[in-house]
Amino acid sequence: MEKKRGEARSRDRGLATRRRLIEATARLCEERPGVEVSVAEIAKAAGVFPNQVTYHFGSKDSLLVHAAFLGLLHDARRIERIGRQAADAAAFRRNIARAVLAMPSLPSVARALAAGIAKPELAPVVDQHLRLLFRQSERFVGRLADSRGWKADRPLGVEVRTFWSTALGAVLLVRAGAHGTNADLDLAGALTIHDARATAEPE
């Protein structure tokens, strides 16, 4: 029994350390966008030893992926608040698109996606976080659409995947050197959410 309690305490300490490392890394990346942070800086910010990074995550790149998506999920929750304030479906599409393109986490997520391409061992980590993002977004859009009487022209799972793929793809293009601005992208057009009453047959 004592052995099991000791294992549980050790497991809890390990989870707490992982959480501190992810949160500290996400904070550093948000404070210093585009700047490479070192393992030593991350460890200091999290209050742990540098070797804890490799012990818990295997590599700094893996930790950066976790931290990037933590920032994205936090941003997504703020986006949801903006979405709930929309007066109608058209405003929802516009406001969501504008807010997503301005999210501070997008550059870090673009780096995480690039890491998943360059390093196959990170692909499952990226996939895990993307699935979580898609599920969270689908739940949000589904509940909001049900409460407002809105409809989509395709299944909500396809809706949110198409939207996020468009947004993240745009950021990857910019990082790859493509010229252009947010004005060149019709991200709102990637959403088919509409007011069902607007398409109803006239009486």
Q: Taking the domains of the chain in order of start, what are their residue ranges? A: 1-58, 59-203
Q: What percent of the chain has pLDDT over 90?
A: 53
pLDDT at 70 over 60: yes
When pLDDT is averaged across residues 71-95 and rounded to a whole number, the result is 93
Question: In terms of pLDDT, which residue wins out, 4 or 129?
Answer: 129
Using DSSP, state whether 1 is helix, strand or coil.
Answer: coil
Please state the pTM of the whole predicted model: 0.80
Confidence of residue 202 (pLDDT cuts 50, 70, 90): very low
Q: How far apart are CA 45 and CA 27, in angstroms?
A: 9
Q: Name the amino acid, one letter, at 35.
A: V
Q: Does the pLDDT at position 194 exceed 50? A: yes
Give the pLDDT confidence score for residue 112 in this predicted structure. 86
pLDDT at res. 104: 85
Q: Which residue has the higher pLDDT, 18 or 170?
A: 18
Mean pLDDT value across residues 81-90: 94
SS3 of 111, please?
helix
**Confidence tier at 182 by pLDDT (50, 70, 90):** low
Smallest CA-to-CA distance from 105 within 139, 144, 79, 142 is with 79
Looking at the DSSP bridge assignments, the partners of residue 150 are 195
39-51 pLDDT, tens digit each: 999 999 999 999 9
Q: Residue 145: what pLDDT?
A: 95
Structure-block tokens of residue 41 = 């800086």
- For residue 200, pLDDT beyond 50: no
Residue 7's pLDDT is what? 58
Structurally, what CATH architecture does the domain formed by 1-58 represent?
Answer: Orthogonal Bundle (1.10)
66 band by pLDDT with thresholds 50, 70 and 90? very high
Tokens of 33: 């966008």
59-203 sits in which CATH class? mainly alpha
**Mean pLDDT in residue range 122-134:** 91
Question: End-to-end alpha-carbon separation of the chain, Å?
Answer: 72
